[in-house]
Structure 1
Amino acid sequence: MCGRFSQAYSWEEIVAFSQPLTVPSDRPNLRARYNIAPTTDVDIILNTETGRELRKARWGLIPGWHKGGLKDFKLATFNARVENVEASGTFKQAYARRRCIIPASGFFEWTGEKKDRVPHFFSAADGDLLAFAGLWESWGNPETGEDITTCTMIVREANAWTSLYHDRMPCILLRRDFDAWLDGSGGMELLKQPPRELREWIVSKRVNKTGEGDDDPRTIEPFSDELPL
C-alpha cells in the first residue's frame, strides 16, 4: 500500500505538468509538504467545466452515500486496490464518474522490523513529478453541513524492482494518458501498464512519525548522520 507521499512543487511546475491547469486569478500560495499522511488535505487534479483544476481533497475517500458523521466512517480508504476498484461498493461510482490525478514528488515505503523500520523514498528517475491515479468524491458532513472533497489513491501489485521493498505500489499514469484517465475513456489498461522508471534512497527515520518533517525538505534527502532522527 502507499501510506505516505510528498507534494513539493511550484505553480509553474504543476501547471506545466498538468498540461495545463486553469489557474485562478487569486491563486493561493502552494505549500510544499514532504511527509503527507492519510486524513490530511492533499492536492488533486480533476476536470471541471472551466478546464483542468487543482483542488484540495481529504486523503481517505468517503463515498457520497455515507450518512453518518466523519467518525462513523471506519474504513481505511486512502488506497483502493486496482483488482476490485471497479466493483467495490465504496469506489465503483467514483471510478466510473469521478477520477483525478494526485501529483507527487515521491512516495515512501519501509523495510526491516517493525521496531526499527527503515524508510525509503521513491521518485521519478528523471526528476519529474509523478501522477498517481486517483478517485474523488464530494461528501456532505451531516454534523457541519459542509461539503467535503475526499480522495483515494489506486494501488497495484509492485513491479519486480519495487517488490524488493513492498508488494504494492501506486498506479502511476504516463503524461500521454492524462486525458483518457480523467475523461473515463481509458481504464484498466492505463493502471496496469509498466510504470515509469523510479529511483530510491534511504531517508531519515524522522518520517516514521506521522507529520514529522512535513515542512522540511531535508525529510526526503538521502540519509546522513547529520540529520536529526
Structure 2
Amino acid sequence: MGLAAFQAALSAALKGQGMCGRFTQHYSWAEIHGFLDVFGAARNLRARYNIAPTTDIDVLRLDAEGRRDLVRMRWGLVPFFWKKTLKELPATFNARAETVGEKPMFRSAFKTRRCIIPASGFYEWTGEKGGKVPHLFTAADGSPVLGFAGLWEKWHDPVTGEDVLSATIIVSGASEWMQPYHDRMPVLLGPDQFAAWLDGSAGADVLRPAAEAALREWIVTTRLNRTGQGDEDATMIEQAA
C-alpha cells in the first residue's frame, strides 16, 4: 500500500470513530506570533489546506528554556516506549479527552509533554458513503488561527536510528451546535488557557467542547474526499457553489 492510500484508509477510519482526521494550517508568521506568542525570529511558513494523518505539522511546545517554540512534528503520536515499527502503530492522531490521562499511549505525555497545535480550520463530513459532503470549520470571529489542545512525544526509531517528534490532537464530545456534523470535535484552547496547558498546571477539566458561538461552517469542494488532494491549493477552502 502506498503512502497516499495508507493515509486515506487511516483518515476514513478516524472519521468512522468520530475523530478529527483532516485540518488546515495557512497563517502568516505575524498571525501565529500574535496568537501564540511564539519565540524566535520570523520565518516562512508553508500554507497547507488538506493535512492528513502521518504527515508533518506545525506544533507549539515549550523548549528547554520554557519558551514557546514552533516545531515540525509527525501527526500521529509515537510513545517513547514504542518498540515496533511505525507501520505497526495504531491510530494515535487523536486522543480522547475523557481518557487521555489514563491510556498508556498518552498518559505520560499528558503529564509532561503538552503542546498546542495551531490550525486555520478543520474538516468534517456529512452524508452517506459515495456522497460525502465536506464541511470546513473556522473561528467564528474570523481569527486566522485556532489553538487545538495536543500532546507531543520524542521517539527513537530502531529501524532508521533517528529521533522522531510526533503529536496528537485531543478531541472531546461535540457541542450541541457541532452534533449535526459530528459527534466529536478538537478541543479548542483560549489564549487565557495557553500558559497553564503548556506548563502542565491545567487539569483535564479544560478539555471541554468549544462554546456554541466559537465556530462557523461552510461546505467546500468534494475534492477534499480524497486524501492528499490539493494540499497546497487555496481554493480547497472556498465555499462550494
Please name the residue that 2:181 is paired with: 165
Equivalences for residues 45-84 of structure 1 within 5 A: 45-50=60-65, 51-73=67-89, 75-84=90-99
Please name the residue that 1:106 is paired with: 121
**Deviation beyond 3 Å, 4+ runs, structure 1:** 193-196
- RMSD, matched Cα: 1.2
Please name the residue that 1:181 is paired with: 197
Please name the residue that 1:4 is paired with: 22
Question: Percent same amino acid at aligned positions?
Answer: 54
Gaps of 5+ in 1: 225-229
Please name the residue that 2:148 is paired with: 132
TM-score normalised by the chain length of structure 2: 0.89
Gaps of 5+ in 2: 1-18
**CA offsets 1:168-205 (integer angstroms, 9 cap, x no match):** 00010011100000001102221126436100000000
In structure 2, the CA distance between the partners of 1:222 and 1:193, relative to structure 1 (3 Å rule), is: closer
Counterpart among 101, 104, 107 of residue 86 in structure 1: 101
How far apart, in 2, do the equivalents of 1:143 and 1:82 lie?
Answer: 32
Counterpart among 58, 70, 74 of residue 43 in structure 1: 58
Q: Is residue 159 of structure 2 the alignment partner of residue 143 of structure 1?
A: yes
Counterpart among 32, 35, 39 of residue 14 in structure 1: 32
How far apart, in 2, do the equivalents of 1:11 and 1:86 lie?
Answer: 32
Q: Is the 8 A contact 2:125 2:135 kept in 1?
A: yes
Please name the residue that 1:227 is paired with: none
Matched residue of 1:192: which SS? Answer: coil
Matched residue of 2:32: which SS? Answer: helix
Counterpart among 167, 184, 190 of residue 206 in structure 2: 190
How far apart, in 2, do the equivalents of 1:221 and 1:72 lie?
Answer: 36
Amino acid at match of 2:29: W
Amino acid at match of 1:126: D
Q: Is residue 224 of structure 2 the alignment partner of residue 207 of structure 1?
A: yes
TM-score normalised by the chain length of structure 1: 0.93
In structure 2, the CA distance between the partners of 1:30 and 1:66, relative to structure 1 (3 Å rule), is: same
